[in-house]
């Protein structure tokens, strides 16, 4: 690269501060629009073709550096929404303390976006051309399960050679070579309301029905192959003197492979009410399919070998959480996540990123995107 480490660090801090201080909570369309425009403007300055995919809860960006005669493309997956509400900067301001940079969203995942931008800047400054077309997708709703962003990611992934995700790395800097799947299901029970004293026999308690259904879940739901169930929210009824006419429970599911995923979802969608007059509707609110690790992945080997050649002592292993790369990895596309810089405290007070790791990720991405092996592997 043509610039010194100090020059790169200054540019990284300047850009990271700007993106961090443009607070962008999921669902806050006005705030998201401001950051969307800042990203689109910079990416166009870098010579990328940028399109904006409209979304009801925030727009998504798709950008491309087209390489003539490229067969396929490398997809870089990012998001620009955060879990933090506007005003969090007052409690957690952007602060640089040696190698550590703190602030809401610096780790998850605005530093990942900065790493991509700086790598592309380096390529432009050196007059270098990527080995194949680069496409970037940056969604506005990852932190709320990419309910709309999923369609943009899957569309952008069509014809991809490889997919690189820029979520934070494992704490030791290692990459993420698989992810558990997750789903949220809603059990919506309808009974029949009545006076609990004068006409209790005419009512059908939705709450009693829901309790029995949840007992079915605890007793009978499959729990093998690392499946997990969390009953996260229950609500229902109106008053103590009214037989409840409606009740519901939101349940979180996690699964490590397609088999356990199918068993769990089939079980929940097969639930039936116990009481005459009661009904249960099972609604899948969100779903990220399981992405199982491919131990022989050429992409994982390429990225790990490139990082080690640059002096990083890293490897790759699956992650317990889900993300947008579930959508590509589960479809069999060569996928690796965790290319974001190292840091800690994602979604928590004290969120921080390491500047040294950000610089390493820039260097890694430059070498990867210009490596002929990336475009040759199909």
pLDDT on residue 376: 75
What whole-number distance in Å separates Cα of residue 175 and Cα of residue 358?
A: 14
Looking at the structure, do residues 169 and 317 belong to the same domain, yes or no? yes
pLDDT on residue 2: 41
Looking at the structure, do residues 279 and 356 belong to the same domain, yes or no? no
In the chain, the number of structural domains is 2
pLDDT on residue 378: 57
Contacts of 186 (CB under 8 A, 6+ apart): 248, 249, 250, 251, 282, 283, 285
**Tens of pLDDT along 242-277?**
999 999 999 999 999 999 999 999 999 999 999 999
- Give the count of beta carbons closer than 10 Å to the beta carbon of residue 11: 17
Please say which residue of 288, 321, 347 terminates a domain.
288
Looking at the structure, do residues 300 and 333 belong to the same domain, yes or no? yes
pLDDT on residue 5: 63
Domain containing 244 — which CATH number? 3.30.70.360
Range of the domain at 223: 181-288
Whether 267 contacts 284, CB under 8 Å:
no
- Rounded to the nearest 10 degrees, the angle between the axes of helix 355-369 and helix 298-309 is 120
Looking at the structure, do residues 123 and 52 belong to the same domain, yes or no? yes
Looking at the structure, do residues 147 and 193 belong to the same domain, yes or no? no
pLDDT over threshold 60, residue 7: yes
Please say which residue of 262, 288, 314 terminates a domain.
288
**Tens of pLDDT along 56-85?**
999 999 999 999 999 999 999 999 999 999
Domain containing 317 — which CATH number? 3.40.630.10
pLDDT over threshold 60, residue 3: no
Looking at the structure, do residues 258 and 185 belong to the same domain, yes or no? yes
pLDDT over threshold 90, residue 227: no
Looking at the structure, do residues 254 and 336 belong to the same domain, yes or no? no
Looking at the structure, do residues 38 and 109 belong to the same domain, yes or no? yes
**Tens of pLDDT along 163-221?**
999 999 999 999 999 999 999 999 999 999 999 988 999 999 999 999 999 999 999 99
Looking at the structure, do residues 248 and 279 belong to the same domain, yes or no? yes
pLDDT on residue 226: 77
Looking at the structure, do residues 146 and 209 belong to the same domain, yes or no? no
**Tens of pLDDT along 308-338?**
999 999 999 999 999 999 999 999 999 999 9
pTM: 0.94
pLDDT on residue 185: 98
Whether 374 contacts 365, CB under 8 Å:
no
Looking at the structure, do residues 14 and 147 belong to the same domain, yes or no? yes
pLDDT over threshold 90, residue 237: yes
pLDDT on residue 164: 98
pLDDT over threshold 80, residue 32: yes
Averaged confidence pLDDT in the chain: 95
Under the banding of pLDDT at 50, 70 and 90, the label for residue 377 is low
Looking at the structure, do residues 266 and 298 belong to the same domain, yes or no? no
- Give the count of beta carbons closer than 10 Å to the beta carbon of residue 279: 14
3-class SS shares of the chain: helix, strand, coil, % to 5: 35, 30, 35
Q: How far is CA 262 from the centre of its chain?
A: 21
Please say which residue of 268, 288, 308 terminates a domain.
288
Report the percentage of the chain scoring pLDDT > 70: 98
pLDDT on residue 305: 97
Under the banding of pLDDT at 50, 70 and 90, the label for residue 6 is confident
What count of residues does the chain have? 378
């Amino acid at each position: 690269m043509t610039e010194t480490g100090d020059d790169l660090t200054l540019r990284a801090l300047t850009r990271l501060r700007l993106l961090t201080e443009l607070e962008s909570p999921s669902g806050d369309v006005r705030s998201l629009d401001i950051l969307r425009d800042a990203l689109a403007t910079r990416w166009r300055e870098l010579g990328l073709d940028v399109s904006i995919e409209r979304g009801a809860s925030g727009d998504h960006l798709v950008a491309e550096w087209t390489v003539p005669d490229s067969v396929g493309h490398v997809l870089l997956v990012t998001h620009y929404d955060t879990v933090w509400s506007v005003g969090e900067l007052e409690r957690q301001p952007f602060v640089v303390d040696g190698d550590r940079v703190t602030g809401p969203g610096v780790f998850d995942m605005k530093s990942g976006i900065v790493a991509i931008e700086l790598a592309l800047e380096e390529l432009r400054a050196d007059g270098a051309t990527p080995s194949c077309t680069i496409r970037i997708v940056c969604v506005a709703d990852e932190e709320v399960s990419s309910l709309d962003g999923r369609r943009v990611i899957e569309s952008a992934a069509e014809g991809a050679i490889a997919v690189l995700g820029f979520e934070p790395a494992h704490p030791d800097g290692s990459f993420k070579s698989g992810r558990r799947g997750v789903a949220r299901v809603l059990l919506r029970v309808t009974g029949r309301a009545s006076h609990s004293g004068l006409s209790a026999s005419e009512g059908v308690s939705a709450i009693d029905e829901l309790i029995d259904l949840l007992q079915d879940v605890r007793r009978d739901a499959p729990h093998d192959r690392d499946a997990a169930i969390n009953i996260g929210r229950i609500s229902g009824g109106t008053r103590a003197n009214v037989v409840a006419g409606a009740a519901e429970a939101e349940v979180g599911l996690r699964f490590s492979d397609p088999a356990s995923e199918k068993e769990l979802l089939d079980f929940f969608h097969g639930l039936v009410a116990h009481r005459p007059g009661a009904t249960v509707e099972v609604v899948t609110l969100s779903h990220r399919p399981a992405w199982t690790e491919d131990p022989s992945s050429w992409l994982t080997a390429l990225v790990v070998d490139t990082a080690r050649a640059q002096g990083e002592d890293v490897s790759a292993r699956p992650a317990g959480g889900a993300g947008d790369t579930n959508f590509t990895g589960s479809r069999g596309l060569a996928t690796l996540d965790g290319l974001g810089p190292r840091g800690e405290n994602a979604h928590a007070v004290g969120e921080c990123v390491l500047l040294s790791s950000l610089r390493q990720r820039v260097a890694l991405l430059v070498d990867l995107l210009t490596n002929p092996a990336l475009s040759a592997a199909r």
